[in-house]
Chains A and B, each alone.
Chain A
Amino acid sequence: MIETTDPFAALATHLRIWASTRDLREQAAVAALIEEGDLLARDDVQDLLVDRTADGASMDWGRFESGFGNLRLDLGERAFLSVMRSVKGSTTLPIGFVDFLGGRRLGIVLRALAARTGNPGVGLVIAPPPVPLMESLLDTVAHRVRLDGTWAAVSMPSAWGNLVLRHLATARKNCGPVITDDRHDTYTVIVSPRGTEQWPDAPGVAITHHQMGDVLSIPGVGAAGMERWWLREPRDPVPLTDPDDLRTAIESITGPLTDTEGKGELLVCGACQCPVWEHQGFGEYVAARRGRIVYCTDCCAGDEHVTVRPGWDPPTGLLEQPQ
């Protein structure tokens, strides 16, 4: 059994072990998928391609072939997976695929093609020179980058992150690129590299700092329909949010970051959009399409509120349900 806390690392190790017993074509495809990382990390790709057992994992290319057409992929992702099908099997593909790969995936594909031919004694060096990381934000293809200190990032829950962005806008502060992640419900703000290191740990507000050396998934500029996409797209040159401005905006919502301990989770009232700490008490109900809705017991659970805010339409029985 592989001992690791990172599920992707564990899967990659299992697949490498499995591929070591397979032919060169399969080894090349598996190595490329692991190196690319983003696609193999997707649940829908794993569901189609990966078979897990109690003590390992393998790939089912036949099932992948039959379901490949149903995956939601952008052009770069489709091109990459098409090449992998061709590397593993004997399918032909339009050579125009290379136009959509982007620099990082192109390097991986060329390495896979070289590995497939089985010239281990010689090998090929396919070495993209270091790209200034700032330019990587402008790539039109989704990719992962290891932060090199030219910028940093701060992730926060989108439930109250939109209030932070609104504060930046109303305070007329510069707001740089922002990534939204629909799967994890977070916003990630690209900030100047120095300034967030001194931020205190703030339990409850679920802020994540991405510093030099961390790996971050970056969506392609202009990509649509993906789980990660640019809420505010980067321009050239890329403006960065000032960490001090961002902290001020965050603290306008959360209060001082040094004073969040013991307050529980920070929630947002579904009616008046004010932040509500868990310890302050709140009510909730489950709406048919919006899921769990939280409302603050201070201002939004009273009859006056309903009368003064006609947009607030609590479901029948809501006011009898506060916890």
Chain B
Amino acid sequence: MFEVSIFLLIKYIIINLIIPIISWILFLWIFFWTKFKWIIFYIISFFIWTWVIAFGLFNLQFFYFWIWILEYLFLNLLLIIILIWKIVIKKQRIIDYIENLKLTFNITELKKSYKNLNLVNKVFFIIWSIFISLFSLIWLLFTANFPTYSDDSFWNWHSPAINIYYDWWIKIFWDENEILWRWRLGYPIYISIYKALISDFNWVFNDIYINLWQFLWFILFLFFIFHITFKKTNNLFYSIIPLALICWLPLTFFHISEWYLDLTSALYSVFMIYFLYEFLENNGFDDLNLWILFWFILANIKNDWLVVYFAWTIIAFIIYLILSKKLVYIIKLFFKDKWSLFKIWFFTFYFFLPFIFLKSYLWLWYNQAAWENSWVWLSFHPEIFWVSPHIFLNQDNYNVILIFLVIIWIILYNRGKSYLFIWLSFLMIFIILIAVFLFTENYLWVMNQTTVNRVFTMTFIILFSFIWILLNEKTN
């Protein structure tokens, strides 16, 4: 259970990478085949697929009351049938699908960008690249050797994972006490199901190596951030800045070995915001679908799922639409393309409905992190309006200084740039910051603890991922 070896390390990395690969082609080809190119295609699909596997299995076992690898295969089979249907009945050309597999990550562009950098930028780029590589190596050693420690994540995600693995299903219609303490169904079980699945493919539940998924997923996330920054700025030095900032944050390091799933939530938030931004820029329904898909994934990662993330994204989105006077235009756009509308509803209900049903059936619509069954929908704490300034001014938080430094550097370096979306991001970030503990009874107490540092760190990760918006010359 705690065995550590190079053989297992390689095996788990491969398994973690292979399981999504088997299905990403099918899934993204079917639904988003015109959207992506090779590397970015894989990265995005990795993040989606780990979730689709987990919740596909969850939904299937909801109908059949059992869960195993066969269902994973069944899910793939279903996708193959849809693909064949698209090719045979809809007469879509398979060549178009294969075309998208071509490697589009142009090395010559990177070389050209490097040559255009001045000496100082070159030096910083090289040093940061070395640092990030060293960090990755230490992360790998750290994650691949760290047994699960007793904390919230142990109870809420690890314990259900091993229960699923040994019992072969999730007993969803047990009494409330069993549900809460054994299966933790009040908490989203995406991570648990995925861990159980990975363990099953490996034929043993290894407490240490199943956490490698988080490591791989963070490395892929860094690639994604590098990719979009380079795509927007075409500058190698600018592209390494967000990675350096994200990797620098001390709590990022500690959260990679799977803790409270705040990091997971932060990274999925980045994907969500990115596709929302893309949708607002291009009005493409694929982007909208992906935004909603990531929103639902995010909503199923942490226990404060629906209200927190629903609230802060929808509010920010509506504010943006009102400010940019696009509200009516977007609503009309929805009804023009009915197929896209269907896809949105599909994502909404295929993955989401069983969990909503279970929550309602088992009467789990309260935040279990709060005391005395504080209701998710109704709890409200006006004290935040006088607590927050106190926190900002008095916390000994060295992450706070970093955010100020970076903002100062960038604002000064880019005077006269467009800040509309960043303003929106700040609004989102502020809302997520207060929302994380807004729905708990002990909000005042929590905000005076060091827990706030953890929340700050996650909001900085979100912000640092979008530095390209400030560095992008085209936004002028």
A and B: bona fide binding partners: no
Interface residues of A (CB under 8 A from B): none
Interface residues of B (CB under 8 A from A): none
